[in-house]
Structure 1
Amino acid sequence: MNKTTNGEQTSKDSFLERIARMYYVLGMNQQEISEQLNIGRSSVARFLNEARERGIIQFQIRSDLENSRHTALEKQLAKQYGLKDCVVFRSDDSPNAFETLASQYLNSVLPTHGSIGLGWGRTLYSIGTQMHLCDPRPGLKVVQLSGGSGAKEELVPAASVIQVWAHALRGKPYLFPAPAIARTEESKLGFLNDPSIQEIVEAIRKVSVAVIGIGHTGEDASIISSGLVPGLDSATLSATSVGDVIFHFYDDQGTFSNPALSERVVGVSPEDYLNIELRIGVAYGTGKTRAIKGALNGRLLHVLMTTEETASTLLD
């Protein structure tokens, strides 16, 4: 039985390889293949798709980024955490190296029309200063995924992230005119009832791609050092959580673990965040390793962009 099964498998693989070679190497179109093999044209398309799924057909995309990426680490991380893609940049001490490479990668994946959502933080702001290297996208809406930090914008960039990205991409900025975290759930509802807030909330629900940073729970976490939540300290956060996306905190397994705080976040909800088709996380540094790993465990990201040092630590 096993011999028969193995024989059938080999025969099927050979057949799929034959179709793949006819299409990609010999340059035959699907109609020509269907006529030569006496099968339907729709079957040719189905067999080509099956050959890709079974690894008989494999693609390698050449780009200027190739020499700057650590493909071995990328493959290991993508496989271990089920990522759609992983971007690991090699060590480079030149100014703005990470940000420049990040913008080049994003230029290849961001849509030209529709809308993208952005998180907050200094890393995203720094990348925004290099986004002028991307192709202009005048048909793109750049949406702020949560409220801002008011006078603390310098410590926790939010609105300024939207402004610098939208200016660089020639897109249309959609700012969130509200605090990132309300004092109470009741005051949050008051903000959400404002017509201008309702417009941005609707825009958030139409976002197809999100680019976010990943927060941690240490003493120097932005949410603590900025005092966005008066009285909040690292010990309280770390008791239940290891990191956050858009101020929604999660544990080691990537399960949202601080519902009381999440209910006060004025912006994208955990449910709406998880409904975004492509979620790209940008984070690096040994202090964020546990937070990044939690996000990966919980499948909170589809794509991770990080450094060689951080990637090695995640695999260790």
Structure 2
Amino acid sequence: MSLADDKRLLVEIASLYYEQNKTQEEIAQKMNISRSLVSKFLAKARNEGIIEFTINDQFAGPYRELEEQLKEMYGLEEVVCVESTDQHFQGKVLGLAAAKYLSRILKSHDVVAVSSGTTVHEAAENFSKQHQLPNVKFIPLVGGLGTEHLTIQSNRVCELLATNSGGRSVELHAPITLDDIEAKQVLMKQSFIKKVLDAAEAADVALVGIGGTPEFSTLTNAYLPEQIDNDPEYSQEKIAGDICYNFIDHAGKAAKCSWNDRVVSIELNKLKKIPSRIGVSGGHKKLSGIKAALNGQLINVLITDEKTGRELVNV
């Protein structure tokens, strides 16, 4: 068979398979050759450029290039960028994106550890009831008893996720913070506390919000309003933001402050052992916290808005 005839045959087989949707068996019968030879000819057609594939990425979202930049720059497994909007709606948009991402990745029998916060609550509220996951379990990463911000506490977020997904939730019967480190040490030894946090540490997925510097933090405004301006250990130089109620420095390590000694939360080194750690946060006020969480590899999946994403690339 001449080269021209060979090329002609490759084109014909490729056309039958890709344009006319014939099976390899049907092509083999038509051409009076074996099915294995059809497969070899198709491979040869691809190798010689007779067949070319084009992926139409217009449906992949308008921020694909930015997402790839962030992935490469910070060593992330996945990035989802959404449209930047005003502060009032940004949390809702991010929460919806996080809900869609969760529904895409969660598998039967997954364990999901969840922090607290407005954006994480939006993710729970927007989780589609059409995507039922009866064998998935949601577990708090932080304490959740107290009088402040009841609807966004971790126990409530887990309950809402379980309700919408058809899964199950576990409660952590512990306050967000205690009066001193000694009280925390006693509490953390209690079997009913240890059992829940041990289960959270062994989770497959973590969903966490990320707060900004203390003056913008929901956490400090609720529990440390006086210390924000008066206590040097909560200065912007020392604290970049917070994650799972832990204040973090600009390197993404737990900041040295009395709050971190007293808070009831997963330890950051244990958070990092959870395979998939989704951080959902956006807005300029939270930029330093997000950057710190990325520096410390506290998250490996980022859901944020376009403007914040571009600031993270250019920071």
Q: TM-score range by the shorter chain?
A: 0.7 to 0.9
Task: Go from structure 1 to structure 2 and tell me whether the alpha carbon gap of 1:172 and 1:63 turns closer, same or farther (over 3 Å shift).
Answer: farther
Name the residue aligned to 2:74: 81
Instruction: Check the 8 A contact 2:238/2:249 in 1, yes or no.
Output: yes
Deviation at 1:91, TM superposition (A): 4.2
Task: Go from structure 1 to structure 2 and tell me whether the alpha carbon gap of 1:260 and 1:61 turns closer, same or farther (over 3 Å shift).
Answer: farther
Q: Secondary structure at 2:150's aligned position in 1?
A: coil
Deviation at 1:90, TM superposition (A): 2.7
Instruction: Check the 8 A contact 2:115/2:208 in 1, yes or no.
Output: yes
Q: Tell whether 2:64 aligns with 1:71.
A: yes
Taking structure 1 as the reference length, the TM-score comes to 0.74
Name the residue aligned to 1:138: 134
Within 5 Å, which residues of 2 pair with 1:80-159? 80-91=73-84, 96-133=92-129, 135-154=131-150, 157-159=153-155
Provide the rounded CA distance (Å) in 1 between the counterparts of 2:102 and 2:55: 18
Provide the rounded CA distance (Å) in 2 between the counterparts of 1:60 and 1:183: 58
Instruction: Check the 8 A contact 1:103/1:130 in 2, yes or no.
Output: yes
Provide the rounded CA distance (Å) in 1 between the counterparts of 2:94 and 2:250: 27
1:253 to 251, 254, 259: 251
Instruction: Check the 8 A contact 1:156/1:226 in 2, yes or no.
Output: no
1:211 to 207, 211, 229: 207
Deviation at 1:260, TM superposition (A): 4.4
Instruction: Check the 8 A contact 1:243/1:249 in 2, yes or no.
Output: yes
Partner AA of 2:153 in structure 1? P
Q: Tell whether 2:230 aligns with 1:232.
A: no
Deviation at 1:196, TM superposition (A): 1.8
Deviation at 1:203, TM superposition (A): 1.3
Q: Secondary structure at 2:177's aligned position in 1?
A: coil
Provide the rounded CA distance (Å) in 2 between the counterparts of 1:140 and 1:161: 14
Partner AA of 1:233 in structure 2? I
Task: Go from structure 1 to structure 2 and tell me whether the alpha carbon gap of 1:134 and 1:110 turns closer, same or farther (over 3 Å shift).
Answer: farther
1:169-225 Cα deviation digits (max 9, x unpaired): 111111111112222121112222333212212211221110000012232311211
**Larger displacement relative to structure 2 (239-248 or 72-81):** 239-248
Computing the radius of gyration from Cα coordinates, the structure with the larger value is: 2
Provide the rounded CA distance (Å) in 1 between the counterparts of 2:191 and 2:201: 16
Deviation at 1:59, TM superposition (A): 11
Instruction: Check the 8 A contact 1:119/1:246 in 2, yes or no.
Output: yes
Instruction: Check the 8 A contact 1:155/1:222 in 2, yes or no.
Output: no
Task: Go from structure 1 to structure 2 and tell me whether the alpha carbon gap of 1:187 and 1:60 turns closer, same or farther (over 3 Å shift).
Answer: farther
Name the residue aligned to 1:288: 286
Deviation at 1:113, TM superposition (A): 1.1
**Larger displacement relative to structure 2 (254-263 or 176-185):** 254-263
Partner AA of 1:222 in structure 2? T
- Structure 1 regions of 5+ residues with no counterpart? 1-24, 37-57
Task: Go from structure 1 to structure 2 and tell me whether the alpha carbon gap of 1:60 and 1:206 turns closer, same or farther (over 3 Å shift).
Answer: farther
1:304 to 291, 302, 305: 302
Name the residue aligned to 1:169: 165
1:278 to 276, 279, 286: 276
Q: Tell whether 2:177 aligns with 1:178.
A: no
Task: Go from structure 1 to structure 2 and tell me whether the alpha carbon gap of 1:293 and 1:188 turns closer, same or farther (over 3 Å shift).
Answer: same
Deviation at 1:155, TM superposition (A): 7.6
Instruction: Check the 8 A contact 2:246/2:265 in 1, yes or no.
Output: no
Deviation at 1:146, TM superposition (A): 0.8
Task: Go from structure 1 to structure 2 and tell me whether the alpha carbon gap of 1:60 and 1:226 turns closer, same or farther (over 3 Å shift).
Answer: farther
Q: Secondary structure at 1:267's aligned position in 2?
A: coil
Q: Secondary structure at 1:131's aligned position in 2?
A: coil
Instruction: Check the 8 A contact 2:99/2:126 in 1, yes or no.
Output: yes
- Structure 2 regions of 5+ residues with no counterpart? 1-17, 25-35, 41-52
Provide the rounded CA distance (Å) in 2 between the counterparts of 1:139 and 1:283: 28
Task: Go from structure 1 to structure 2 and tell me whether the alpha carbon gap of 1:137 and 1:63 turns closer, same or farther (over 3 Å shift).
Answer: farther
Provide the rounded CA distance (Å) in 2 between the counterparts of 1:109 and 1:134: 15
2:194 to 195, 198, 201: 198
Q: Secondary structure at 2:259's aligned position in 1?
A: helix
